[in-house]
Amino acid sequence: MKPGLVTSWANTGFTGLGLVLVWAVSAAAHDGTAPPLRQPYKAVFRINTTVSAGDLSPEAVVAKAREHGIRILVFSDQFVCRAEWGMWPLRHLVRIRRDRPSVVTVGLGRYLQRIKKLQQDNPDMVILAGLDVAPHYYWRGSLLAGNLSVHQWSEQLTLVPVSADEPFAKMPAVANPGEERRWGLASVLLLWPVVPIALGVRLLRRSRVDYEDEQGNSYRLAASPWRKRGAVLLLVLGLVFLANNAPFALPSPCSPYRDGGAEVYQGFIDWIREHTSAMVFWSAPEIRMAQELSGIDLLTEPYVQHIVETDGATGFAAIYGDARTMHLPGKEWDRILIEYCRGARKAPLWAVGERDYHGRSRIDGVVTTFLLPELSRDAVVNDGLRHGKMYASCRSDSGAEMVLEHFSVSPDAGASRPSFEDLCLTERAVRVRIVLRAVKAESSRPSATATLVRNGQVIHEESFPVSTAGHSISVSDTPPTDGRSYYRVLTTWPGGEIVSNPIFVQPLSGDRDHG
């Protein structure tokens, strides 16, 4: 435990919810204005249906969500699922292609209309249309050697919300048939087959020789048969390569015949930000996967480094059904948040819980809990997803379910502030308040551990019994004065975990100027 005054209590006569309400009222009295009373709403993020890789229809998913009290759904079927390889130098003519069901095969317009109707039929829920997109994969090996493989097949980003009036069909993604083509001066070079075609025509015209003798008699003699064969060969080659090069557009930045690295993903993120209003979330960054499609190996290695090397994404999956460490103290997520605090990044990276639901398991095993003043599309999109008013959590089928009832940072001598509200300091010291509670009693009384992180460093860690009475933690701390800081909390217990989003603290103006 790092220095700082720590106060903790459990079951002091208030429930966790009662403490939250007391703090909220105190904050309202202190500020003179009542803050919005935020309510928790569970969401399932990243849902695949029968449109792509899921087993349930969108309608069946909504029914399943209702059974478990889920009020927010983010559908994100796979945009395009196509492995396409072409043999050099005729990659567009001599190729193999393997498809799986996707939004492209159904039609983007039809897909979005179906999700829109779901929202209309369920006005008491918020149902968002999204897309899972793999902007890039690349080939290795040889077809002849029998070791052809696709790499980073499942390095995906989730786009949300997706609307029909924005040009998602044209986005730069590998195997996207509607990708917006680009032309430039280099396109002229792709017209090179015109040269052998012209030479072939000229040779054909000279394959016969006309002349007159001294008596004025006209003769036509055939030229060497090799000249005619050469002319036909030039014509055939020219026409074949001309067809291969059409429509003479510049190569896609997502070309699958090279490893484009982080540059491809940065270009994709920039295009989405420039042409649409959607947000970009990195999906399952530490996944390791090996699949097979018609004898072709589909491989994916962890791609955390691509997240570190790119900027502009809105968030990432901090909790999902795989081994993961990026969210742990001092790891890559903290490095990104510190860079944002120093002004080296456009925006912070928010954490979400990614269910990646395919209809084959419990729908609420991983959830993202939004803390909103009201349940509306605008609140979910702008308050929750865009500004990080949410936290991620998971539990096993046999594990306890816990909720983060309160998480705030306030001036040390002042009243508590609402959860997840950033703070501009009016004094050097702050007080961090946390309330954690089990949803229902557990006979085994498991123990949980809460870890408070400031700027990538653990400043407080505390274990406590999981209880419906709730457990409250209060930590006094003095953040650095040389720039913006942040606090976040991790909580673990047998079979479950909570990852909060950060609360940012702006130092005193005099300290900031001095720093």
CATH of residue 448's domain is: 2.60.40.10
- Position 64 pLDDT exceeds 90: yes
Domain boundary among 245, 271, 295: 245
Give the strand pairing for 315-319 and 350-357.
Answer: parallel
For 190, other C-beta atoms within 10 Å of its C-beta total 19
Which of 163-177, 338-352, 398-412, 499-513 is predicted least confidently? 499-513
pLDDT band at 25; cut points 50, 70, 90: very low
Give the domain-ending residue among 223, 245, 267.
245
15: pLDDT strictly greater than 60: no
pLDDT at 307 over 60: yes
Q: Is residue 132 part of a domain?
A: no
Pick from 99, 108, 98: which is nearest to 77 by CA? 108
Q: Which two tokens stand for residue 317?
A: 């999956």
Please report, rounded to a whole number, the percentage of residues in the chain having pLDDT higher than 70. Answer: 88
Of the ranges 186-200, 203-217, 382-396, 430-444, which one carries the lowest mean pLDDT score? Answer: 203-217
In a domain, 56, yes or no: no
Contact 307, 287 (CB under 8 A): no
Task: For residues 305-314, give the mean pLDDT.
Answer: 98
DSSP tag of 207: S
For position 434, what pLDDT does the model report?
97
Of 18-22, 139-143, 233-237, least confident by mean pLDDT is 18-22
Cα separation, 89 vs 72, whole angstroms: 49
Residue-range definition of the domain harbouring residue 217: 185-245
The answer for residues whose C-beta is within 8 angstroms of residue 349's C-beta and 6 or more apart is 307, 313, 314, 315, 316, 333, 336, 337, 340
What's the whole-number mean pLDDT along residues 412-436? 87
Name the band, by pLDDT with cuts 50, 70 and 90, for residue 414.
confident
Does residue 350 contact residue 314 with C-beta atoms inside 8 Å?
A: yes
Residue 341 lies in a domain: no
The answer to whether the bond into 89 is cis (omega within 30° of 0) is yes
**Residue 137 in this model has a pLDDT that exceeds 90:** yes
Per the prediction, the chain carries an average pLDDT of: 88
**pTM for the predicted model, two decimal places:** 0.87
384 versus 250: the higher-pLDDT residue is: 384
| Residue 153 located in a structural domain | no
Task: Please report whether residue 423 resides in a domain.
Answer: yes
Residue 126 lies in a domain: no
Cβ neighbours, 10 Å, residue 474: 16
- State the pLDDT confidence band at 211, using cuts at 50, 70 and 90: low
Count of domains in the chain? 2
Q: Which residues of 129-153 are buried (b: 16+ CB within 10 A; e: fewer)?
A: bbbbbbbbbbbeeeeeeeebebbbb
118 within 8 A of 248, measured Cβ to Cβ:
no
By mean pLDDT, which of 56-70, 212-226, 399-413 is the weakest?
A: 212-226
Residue 108: pLDDT over 70: yes
At residue 14 the predicted structure's pLDDT band, cuts being 50, 70 and 90, is very low
pLDDT bucket at 17, cuts 50 / 70 / 90: very low
Say what the pLDDT of residue 209 is.
59
* Selection from 283, 376, 385, 309 nearest residue 36 by Cα: 376
Tell whether 189 is covered by a domain: yes
3-state secondary structure of 355: strand
Q: Which of 206, 226, 245 is the endpoint of a domain?
A: 245
In a domain, 34, yes or no: yes
Pairing of strands 503-506, 138-140: unpaired
Query: How confident is the model over 480-504, as a mean pLDDT?
Result: 95
Report which residue type is found at 22.
V
**Mode of pairing for the β-strands spanning 72-78 and 39-47:** parallel
